[in-house]
Structure 1
Amino acid sequence: MDIERALRISAAGMAAQSTRLRVVAENLANRDSTGESPGADPYRRRTVTFASHLDRATGAQAVSVSRIGQAQGEFPRRFDPSHPAADAQGYVKTPNVDSLIEVMDMREAQRSYSANLSVLETTRGMLTRTIEALR
């Protein structure tokens, strides 16, 4: 039962970090997406919120994505009077996506995913060696 528990916990962590990586990729892909009309809001950065929940099958705590939300705050403005989304003063609202923050989030998610994968592979190896020893 402990091996199954370890596998389920690692799989839940990998699934949560996979969602986080997808959201980071979406944020980076849309970092230059402005509104289509003057004064329209551009792409708003998305965020991932995690929650701990009880996995009833194993009786262990596991992580899951509880919500994918949007970051609040003002949009940076850029002076570009020739842009189709420029307002009357010539400013265009730009997305509130900071590439540096997204890359840091991506690295953190990647490391967490890799750690969970290592646990999964180690547990699987232990299970394989146990089955071979019983033969």
Structure 2
Amino acid sequence: MDVVDSLWDWVLVLLFWFLFFAYLLILWQILTDLFRDRELSGWWKAVWVLFLVAFPFLTALVYLVARGRGMSERQVAAVHQVRADTDAYIRHVATASPAEQIAGAKALLDAGTITPDEFATLKAKALA
């Protein structure tokens, strides 16, 4: 009987920690959404944060019901913006001009890192 009690105690502890971390995740999402929203004034943000501190569970529930749709729209917009920025950066880095590629290969040749044959190969590849 002792093992069963300790097993259920362990399950309850795990359930408690799971719910606690789920609550922290929701709280983090609410706070990031509050500060991501540019249409909401600073005073309203302060009011939401004050209520999140004073009445955390009730305020989180009210926030998710009242602003849930806008929250998801802002999250999707942020994801699209990050993806667009990443794609633009990758295109910028990946599409070095042939002159830049040849200049980089020439610098490697001058430093003695590559041989003249390797420089010729890199130059032909850049011009292709």
Give the structure-2-normalised TM-score.
0.34
Please state which structure has a larger fraction of its residues in helix.
2
Please state which structure has a larger fraction of its residues in strand.
1
Give the structure-1-normalised TM-score.
0.33
